Amino acid sequence: MKKSILLFSLVLALQHISAAQNNTIDSLQVILKTAGEDTNKVNILNALSYELLYSNTDTTIYYATLAKDLSEKLNYTRGTASAYLRLGQAYNNLGSYDQSQLYLSKALAFSTDKLTTAKIYVNIGINHYEMSNYPEALKNYFTGLKAFEEAGDKRAIGSVYNNIALIYTDMGNYDEALKNHVAAKKIREANGDKRGIAGSFLNIGIIYFERGNYAEALKNYFEAKKMYEELGDKNEVALAYNHIGVVYKNQQKYVEALKNYFAALNIQEEIGDKEGIAVSYTNIGTAHLEDGKAREAMEWLMKGLQLAKEIGIKTTIQDSYLSLAAADSALGNYKDAYAYYKMYIVYRDSIANKENTEKIVQQKMQYEFDKKETQSRAEQAVTKKELQRQKLLRNGFVGGFAVVLLFAMLFLGQRNKIKKEKKRSDELLLNILPHEVANEIKLNGRSMPKTFSMVTVMFTDFKDFTRVSQNISAELLVAELDYCFSAFDKMVQKYKIEKIKTVGDAYICASGLPISSFTHATDMVSAAIEIRNFMLERKKEKESKGEIPFEMRIGIHTGPVVAGIVGVKKYAYDIWGDTVNVAARMEQNSEAGKINISGSTYELVKDKFKCVHRGKILAKNKGEIDMFFIEGSFASI
């Protein structure tokens, strides 16, 4: 995840798909077909999971899981460590950082060689970096760096220096950031690492930009763009365009800025880079804002904020809120400006705060002491001035905006208590109702039920729940349900699926409402596969501890539903119709560890997932309905 419009994140050992790599994958898959159940097969499976890591995450998980199971059966610890490492990296790609940390911790427990251990520590650091936990990220980076230095892996050393520099950049310590970026660039030049050199040019340009040296910033950005174009890396070419646009914006060359922003956006839309699109939306809005076109700015900034919230980019959310505050202020909407500014403060303080900075100083001191290369350099790590510095957008009316905010805050101060209560009420409402429905209630006092012509509904429940629940305490039962359902919540949210409710051990959700979606069926099946895989892993964990596991059945059906809320007390958003009943029948006729879909869902997903026909069932008012088991995506076969 790119941490902001001014950051370039280089993940350790990042590989880009090429013709040569595709040939490697094909060769490995051919060898796999004749491999015996031995350590060689484990190595092949791990190699496949590595080659597919950044192009097909689901298939990486599939191969890594096979490698893990076989290596554990063979007591092949090296293979087990590598498999868990790949699983950790794959779930990082999916944004499932807690799950990633779980697998990386297991990898660390099995690792016996320094190189693998170093990679694990760095990937743990990457997880913490993505979650803005900078002290823990730095701690793990330094541990990995020491191991790579002992192993003499110069390419990896360059990547770790780069990652350390990114943290210092986020914290505003540009001297330390520049030192680490220069160190990374020297190592990459010695190794002939063209992609790494391009990344270093970009990062060094960022530091010069932050220092206000725009000429040097542009020089480095253009070098980076040129190298990325030669490499055919569209994602990073777009990123370079965005950086160039930011420089021109700060020079008040708005035509040039927008030219580069739109060049970036066109590429990002072409390759489907949602994070980049969110950043470009915000950049375009900010350029219009500083050019005195506040209304045009609002449109782009709202698009950027909405997308950033959907995919969870904190720094872009922060930047969007600040620019929206400035735009509303320019339009005379001071109340809204004040509200946006408060949200900016919340996100700013959650990303970079004094406590995190002080902990980073401590980590750096410990590393310097362990290496015994110099005396304590803590006083150089973070100065008081840098602690106070905030990454405000450089617009020409920040000073005037601050004055407006002061009057707005005085005017609204006496209403704070009411606003807090209203905010609490809104948060509670949004916690039980979809955003669109909650807004409708706030505006109109009620929400009208709506008919959706095509929605995919999923039911899950635990096999033999009553029998299993009789053998464990009520506290453990509730804790296990909470653990599993909380995990399901994260997985369905990732695919923009609406959780409807839980009834006992049943979990019910729907895709394609309250906002219609063309991908509702494939989104639901993808979420179901993740839920199934999670429960299979949970089953193994419980069994390894001698505990009784839950086994899950999943059923999915597609069709029309009516959705809305009823009554005036204890609001609940619900769905009704034959589609709901058939989805429940699909679940009842499923099997433990299986995903059972109806014929109507099959018609929408058959080109993306391998399905096995398993007969028909008779459904009330529907006649006979075909049923299929989902075997997996075609990419994983």
User: How many folded domains does the chain comprise?
Assistant: 2
pLDDT at 4: 35
Average pLDDT of the residues in 518-542? 92
Yes or no: say if 293 and 249 are a contact pair by the CB < 8 Å rule. no
Q: What is the mean pLDDT of residues 5-10?
A: 32
Question: ∠ CA 59-65-71 to the nearest 5 degrees?
Answer: 135
Higher per-residue pLDDT: 614 or 346: 614
Residue 430, token pair as written in the block: 């949004």
Q: How far apart are CA 347 and CA 386, in angstroms?
A: 19
State the Cα–Cα distance between residues 110 and 19, nearest whole angstrom.
34
Mean pLDDT: which of 339-343, 429-433, 608-612 is highest?
Answer: 608-612
What was the pLDDT predicted at 171?
80
Decide if 198 is inside a domain. no
Residue 374 has pLDDT above 80, yes or no: no
Give pLDDT, residue 382. Answer: 35
Q: Which helix (H) or strand (E) holds 414?
A: none
CA distances from 452 to 147, 552, 586, 587 (A): 56, 28, 20, 22
Query: Which residues, in sequence order, are CB contacts of 132 under 8 Å at separation 6+?
Result: 3, 170, 314, 350, 351
Residue 406: predicted pLDDT: 43
Packed helices 174-191 and 194-210: angle between N→C axes, nearest 10 degrees: 160
More confident residue, 254 or 471: 254
Does pLDDT of 65 surpass 80?
yes
Find the mean pLDDT for residues 621-636: 80
> Looking at residue 473, what is its pLDDT?
77
Read off the amino acid at residue 353.
Answer: N
Among the ranges given (17-21, 172-176, 338-342), the one the predictor scored with the smallest mean pLDDT? 17-21
The answer on pLDDT for 365 being more than 70 is no
* Lowest mean pLDDT across 24-33, 358-367, 427-436: 358-367
What does the pLDDT look like over 149-176, one tens digit per residue?
Answer: 888 888 888 889 989 988 888 887 888 8
| pLDDT digits 0-9 by tens, 299-322 | 999 999 999 888 888 888 888 898
* HSE-up (13 A, CA, CB side) for residue 172: 19
* Confidence label for 214 from pLDDT (cuts 50, 70 and 90): very high
- Supply the pLDDT for residue 447: 59
Residue 328 in any domain: the answer is: no
Residue 421: per-residue pLDDT: 53
Both tokens assigned to 313: 């980019």
| Chain centre distance of CA 536 | 23
Residue 272 DSSP symbol:
T
Stretch (H or E) spanning 200: helix 194-210
* Rounded average pLDDT over 269-277: 88
Query: Could you give the CA distance from residue 257 to residue 283 in angstroms, rounded to a whole number?
Result: 9
Q: Which of 95, 112, 129 is the last residue of a domain?
A: 112
What is the pLDDT averaged over residues 471-481? 81
Tell me the pLDDT band of 607, cut-offs 50, 70 and 90. Answer: confident
Q: What share of the chain has pLDDT > 90, as a percent?
A: 33
In 10 A of CB 479, how many CB atoms?
12
* Per-residue model confidence (pLDDT) at position 318: 87
List phi, psi (to 5°) of 433: -130, 150
Using the 3D structure, point to which of 67, 95, 112 is the last residue of a domain. Answer: 112
Burial of 416-445, coded b for 16+ CB within 10 Å and e otherwise, reads eeeeeeeeeeeeebeeebbeebbebeeeee
Give yes or no for a contact between 497 and 489, defined as CB atoms under 8 angstroms apart.
Answer: no
Give the residue from 457, 438, 456, 444 showing the smallest Cα distance to 565: 438
204-233 residues labelled b (16+ CB within 10 A) or e (exposed): bbbbbbbeeebeebbebbebbbebbeeeeb
pLDDT (0 to 100) of residue 58: 83
Residues contacting 195, CB < 8 A, separation 6+:
16, 227, 231, 233
Is the residue at 585 inside a domain?
yes
pLDDT band at 437 (very low <50, low <70, confident <90, very high): low
Instruction: Give the mean model confidence (pLDDT) for residues 444-459.
Output: 76
pLDDT at 637 over 80: no
Q: How many Cα atoms occupy the beta-carbon half-sphere of 476 within 13 Å?
A: 11
Tell me whether strands 573-576 and 551-565 are parallel, antiparallel or unpaired: antiparallel
pLDDT by residue (tens digit) across 544-590?
888 888 889 999 999 888 888 765 555 677 888 888 889 988 998 89
Percent of the chain clearing pLDDT 70 (strictly above)? 79
Whether 508 is covered by a domain: the verdict is: yes
Task: Say if residues 288 and 249 touch (Cβ distance below 8 Å).
Answer: no
What pLDDT, on a 0 to 100 scale, did the predictor assign at position 554?
A: 96
Sequence-ordered list of residues with C-beta below 8 angstroms from that of 139, at least 6 positions apart, any chain:
125, 363
* Calpha distance 311→295 (Å, rounded): 25
**Listed range (265-279, 365-379, 422-436, 599-613) with the worst mean pLDDT:** 365-379
Instruction: Find out whether 272 and 264 touch, Cβ atoms under 8 Å.
Output: no
- Asked, for residue 141, whether it belongs to a domain, the answer is no
Instruction: List the single range of 159-163, 334-338, 418-422 with lowest mean pLDDT.
Output: 418-422
Q: What is the pLDDT of residues 225-257, one digit of tens each?
A: 999 999 998 889 999 999 999 999 999 999 999
Cβ neighbours of 37 (radius 10 Å):
10
Average pLDDT, the chain: 80
Domain of 33, in residue numbers: 19-112
> What's the pLDDT score for residue 124?
93
Q: CATH number, domain at 104?
A: 1.25.40.10
Q: From 112, 136, 151, give the residue that closes a domain.
A: 112
Q: Is the pTM of this model over 0.95?
A: no
Give per-residue burial for 366-376: e unless 16+ CB within 10 Å, then b: ebbeeeeeeee
Q: Quick one: average pLDDT of 261-272?
A: 92
By residue count, the chain amounts to 637
Tokens of 72: 């554990």
Per-position DSSP letters for 485-503, written without gaps between them: HHHHHHHHHHTTPEEEEEE
Condensed to tens digits (0 to 9), the pLDDT of residues 482-503 reads 889 999 999 998 898 989 888 8
Quote the pLDDT of residue 453.
75
Residue 563 located in a structural domain: yes
**CA quadruple 66, 70, 72, 76: dihedral, nearest 10:** -120
DSSP-derived secondary structure letter, 473:
-
Q: How far apart are CA 189 and CA 193, in angstroms?
A: 6
Q: Is residue 534 part of a domain?
A: yes
CA distance 28 to 47: 8
Sign of CA dihedral 269, 273, 278, 279: negative
For the chain, the straight-line distance linking the first and the last C-alpha, in angstroms and rounded, comes to 28
Per-residue pLDDT band for 400 (boundaries 50, 70, 90) equals: very low
When mean pLDDT is compared across 7-11, 308-312, 503-507, the lowest value belongs to: 7-11
Work out the pLDDT band at 435, boundaries 50, 70, 90.
low
Confidence at 627, pLDDT banded by 50, 70, 90 = very high
CATH of the domain at 475: 3.30.70.1230
Query: Hey, what are 463's tokens?
Result: 């096999």
Give Cα separations from 30 to 304, 523, 634 (angstroms): 45, 31, 17
pLDDT at 636: 54
Residue 564 maps to a domain: yes
Q: How would residue 377 be classed by pLDDT, with cut points 50, 70 and 90?
A: very low
